[in-house]
Structure 1
Amino acid sequence: MTDDLPGPPWQMDWTVEARQDFDAMPADGKQLVLAARAELITAPDPYYRGIDADACLPHWITVRPLASTRPGGSHIADLAGGRGWLVFTFIRRHAEPQITVTDAFWA
């Protein structure tokens, strides 16, 4: 047995409320949210820890902790300069690491 965790692509699940918010978004919002989803599930670390760690992200998405005092807790992916966002938590389990989206918004 190895202590290495499985790598990407990660599983992603949505809370009922976040999924309803996503379903209610206009097409342009859904398109950016799905593109952000693709970036998050294929990233070696969805939290993009470290200096300039999100430099490989497209210019329209930034990822940061929701609370600076909890760098391992919920994170927010700001989309299109704050026009929308996804709040998510990455649970690094041995069996099935998973990203859970708890909030989705598009203005």
Structure 2
Amino acid sequence: MTSEFMGPPWQADWTKGAEGNRNALPEPAQALVAAARAELVTAQDPYFLGIDADRGLAAGMSVEPVQSTRPRGEHILYFDYGRGWLRYHFTARATDPQIVIDECFWQ
């Protein structure tokens, strides 16, 4: 029996609201969202646990938990130097782990 590590790239899905918000953005902003999503699904640890765990992200991006008391709960990935964000949660199932993007915002 082989034990395969499920790792990046992670599966990602959008809630209907987040997908609608993403699709309503102008094309340059949609490109920023696509870049942020790409960083998220290729992250070794989608929780970004530890000090400076998000230092490998592209310029203008950072990640933090929504609640500091829940480090494995919902997170926010900021992009475009804080002008936009993706709020997401990670479902760490044994098979088919997945990132669900609950909110997409850009201003």
Structure-2-length-normalised TM-score:
0.93
Equivalent in the alignment of 1:53: 53
Q: Which amino acid aligns with 1:21?
A: N
Mapping 1:43-82, distance limit 5 Å: 43-82=43-82
Aligned-partner Cα distance in 2 for 1:61–1:85:
9
Q: Deviations along 1:25-45, whole A, 9 cap, x unmatched?
A: 111211111001111111111
Does residue 9 of structure 1 match 2:9?
yes
Asked whether the 8 Å contact 2:60–2:82 carries over to 1, the reply is no
Q: Which runs of 4+ in 1 moved over 6 A?
A: none
Structure 2 portions without partners, runs of 5+: none
Equivalent in the alignment of 2:21: 21
* 3-state SS, counterpart of residue 58 of structure 1: coil
Asked whether the 8 Å contact 2:66–2:74 carries over to 1, the reply is yes
Report the CA distance shift for 1:64/1:4 in structure 2 as closer, same or farther (over 3 A): farther
Alignment RMSD (CA, Å): 1.4
- How big is the shift at 1:22? 0.4
Does residue 37 of structure 1 match 2:37?
yes
Of the structure 1 ranges 84-93 and 41-50, higher mean CA displacement relative to structure 2 is found in: 41-50
Asked whether the 8 Å contact 2:74–2:90 carries over to 1, the reply is yes
Structure 1 portions without partners, runs of 5+: none
Report the CA distance shift for 1:2/1:70 in structure 2 as closer, same or farther (over 3 A): farther
* 3-state SS, counterpart of residue 55 of structure 1: coil
Equivalent in the alignment of 1:103: 103
Q: Which amino acid aligns with 2:102?
A: T
